[in-house]
Amino acid sequence: MPELRTEEMVINMGPQHPSTHGVLRVELVLDGEIVVDAIPHIGYLHRCFEKHSESMNDYQQVIPYVDRMDYVAAISNELGYAIAMERMLDIQVPERVEYIRVIFAELQRIASHLLALGTYGLDIGAFTPFLHCFRERERILDIFESTCGARLLYNYIWVGGLSHDVPDNFKNKVRDFIKYFPPKIKGYNDLLSYNKIFIDRTADVGVLPADVAVNCGASGPVLRGSGVEWDLRRHDPYSIYDRFDFDIVVGKGEMGTVGDCWDRYIVRVREMEQSLRIIEQAVEQMPDEGDVKEAIPKRIRPDAGEVYARTETPRGDLGYYIISDGSMSPYRVKARSPCFVHTGLIPTISRGAMVADVVAIIGSVDIVLGEVDR
């Protein structure tokens, strides 16, 4: 009997695929059900952020654009840009502003991780956790809304300060949330993290070894999921993060191998608890008096020079490389986005996986295409 003829097959996953978290197209080369190669094609959402920034006639005007990069964690993007510009202009921000920024950045981290958790469950086939996560996320967005009026794209952190002061009952609202949230985390663990089906789908899938992760430039929960203890809040402190007590969560391979999808997932769940600890300390230490607009410069005209600043966003290490030529508009703004780097990692961890696991892998690196394409 003659041998059956076999050949590799190329299929396109995306750009309109619910599990690619936006408009990502992955060209999959398959040998049966095994992935031989996965080639991501990006750029469908390219909005020329860097070119736009160069045509702004004020450095403050860039902030609404950075909001739209990682649109589910806008505060973190603003914070990074503001810190870069403050370093360039040598501005000392008032205490109160620093505390409000930290509280919002950590609330944003929780909101963003909740979205990551919920949609990850959805990718794997669990619908209920998504609804639970969104219920809690709404509470955080309500705090944002009562402060600056927006629920998603805030334009709240400005170079040198904030656009609004917080409302009178802000501290109580945050304290309520701190009380309300911890039992919910237990709920996610019961519902999703330690669910047999979920573990079977994610443990030992898409393993990213630590040395490869560092060499490929992974950061945030993806790097920590591989067992590397690296968090910019601790290792390259910015703002006032050196004042708070928190643990760096790393993947330990509890359900399978260190650096698998489950590790990356559980790092996010446990990071929410740590963020809550930071918020708790910040709310207690935050001064009640102070003008949040005090240090905002009337006119921003930095001397010629350049700055590189990086911050730990929910998705990893977000860097801004800003060059000034001494005029009112930036000469060059480059954003080093963690999602861009992580999308580049997808081929490395997908080779040899089953085609159904590609969905689990893409979900576990938690990319937002708005930031990949900028």
Partner 1 sequence: MKAPEEIYAILKERFGEEKIEFKEDGKVVPWIIVTPDAIRDVTKFLRDDDDLDFDYLMCLSGVHYQKENTLGVTYHINSTRKKHSLTLKCIVPEDNPHVPSIESVWKTANWHEREAYDMVGIMFDGHPDLRRILCPDDWDGYPLRKDYKVQEYYRGMKVPY
Do 323 and 186 touch, CB atoms closer than 8 A? no
Smallest distance from the beta carbon of 305 to partner 1, in angstroms?
5
Which tokens go with 163? 């656009």
Q: How far is residue 90's CA from residue 78's CA, in Å, rounded to a whole number?
A: 17
Please choose, from the candidates 181, 162, 152, the residue with its C-alpha nearest in 3D space to the C-alpha of residue 100. 162
Q: How far is residue 20's CA from residue 82's CA, in Å, rounded to a whole number?
A: 30
Question: Nearer to partner 1 by C-beta: 198 or 230?
Answer: 230
Question: Nearer to partner 1 by C-beta: 253 or 344?
Answer: 344
Residue 323 makes contact with partner 1 by CB under 8 A: yes
Residue 36 makes contact with partner 1 by CB under 8 A: no
Alpha-carbon dihedral angle through residues 164, 165, 171, 174, given to the nearest 10 degrees: 10
Q: Which of 341, 353, 359, 362 binds partner 1 (CB under 8 A)?
A: 341
Do 101 and 79 touch, CB atoms closer than 8 A? yes
Query: In sequence order, what are the residues at sequence separation of 6 or more whose Cβ sits closer than 8 angstroms to the Cβ of residue 117?
Result: 129, 133, 188, 192, 265, 268, 269
Q: Which of 9, 11, 34, 48 binds partner 1 (CB under 8 A)?
A: 48
Smallest distance from the beta carbon of 32 to partner 1, in angstroms?
26
Residue 228 makes contact with partner 1 by CB under 8 A: yes
Q: How far is residue 318's CA from residue 313's CA, in Å, rounded to a whole number?
A: 6
Question: Nearer to partner 1 by C-beta: 166 or 300?
Answer: 300
**String of contacts with partner 1 for each residue 344-363, x by CB under 8 A:** x---x---------------
Distance, C-alpha 164 to centroid of its chain: 24
SS3 39: strand
Residue 305 makes contact with partner 1 by CB under 8 A: yes
Where is 14: in which H helix or E strand?
none
Residue 209 makes contact with partner 1 by CB under 8 A: no
Query: Segment contacting partner 1 (CB under 8 A): 199-207, 212-220, 276-284, 350-358?
Result: 212-220
Q: How many degrees, rounded to 5, is the angle at CA 187 between CA 126 and CA 123?
A: 20
Smallest distance from the beta carbon of 300 to partner 1, in angstroms?
15
Smallest distance from the beta carbon of 227 to partner 1, in angstroms?
12
Query: Segment contacting partner 1 (CB under 8 A): 14-22, 49-57, 184-192, 245-253?
Result: 49-57
Smallest distance from the beta carbon of 67 to partner 1, in angstroms?
19
Cis peptide leading into residue 15 (ω within 30°):
yes
Footprint on this chain of partner 1 (rule: CB under 8 A): 42-43, 46, 48, 50-51, 54, 88, 212, 214-217, 228, 230, 235-236, 303, 305-308, 310, 317, 319, 321, 323, 332, 334, 336, 340-341, 343-344, 348, 373-374
